[in-house]
Amino acid sequence: MLAILDYKAGNQTSVRRALDHLGIENQITSDPDLLASADGIIFPGVGAAGQAMDELSSGGLDEVLKSLIWQEKPLLGICVGCQILLDYCEENDTRTLAVIPGECRLFNPAWTEEDGTPIRVPHMGWNRVTLKKDCALFNDISPAAEFYFVHSYHPAPRPEFIIGETMYGENFCSVHGRTGLWAVQFHPEKSGAPGLKLLQNFHAYCLEAKNAQ
């Protein structure tokens, strides 16, 4: 079973529908015991980092998450859930979970498209991910695949945690983390077949990790 973290600031329903479509058992929950017993956790998010951190900390979910991550529970952060794994977010001047070194920054409005026009903020629409290192999430996904993005802030982790980059004016980190702790800035649950395959790959990793214990 995959647990979809419920912290009143996520995109839980869309993620649940995607997992249901794949036939993957799942549950939307904020129960620490259910999170601990799940094969893996999906940490979705839409909205503002400050509000999301307020929700997490008010219910103690911030410490629950950090504890499970240190115990190597597989976790996939999506969009705001990707940004909150870093140390700090410029949005709302927010101190975040600090499980991956780095910060989340507002897109630089001085960045331009290839034709010289300024980029639009938020970054909204379909774009590619160029992998900088191998990642199980992208097994059997074409390098030409596009994913759906909608965000004004982008992750900037320490270089050794960058897994994939996307071009929007300049290259920015769109996938970061380490094996078993992944974060994607795009929305796989809204990204058609490539996004569904990524979720399926995450579930497969969770089952392999469970069987290896």
- CB distance 79 to 175 below 8 Å: no
* CB within 8 Å of 63: residues ≥ 6 apart: none
What is the block-wise mean pLDDT of the chain (213 residues), using blocks of 10 residues? 88 94 97 97 89 91 96 96 96 95 96 92 97 97 98 97 97 98 97 98 96 85
Question: How do residues 114-161 score in pLDDT, each as one tens digit?
Answer: 899 999 999 999 999 999 999 999 999 999 999 999 999 999 999 999
CATH code for position 11: 3.40.50.880
pTM of the model: 0.96
Show the domain range for 108: 2-212
Residues assigned a catalytic role: 79, 187, 189
Q: How many domains does the chain have?
A: 1
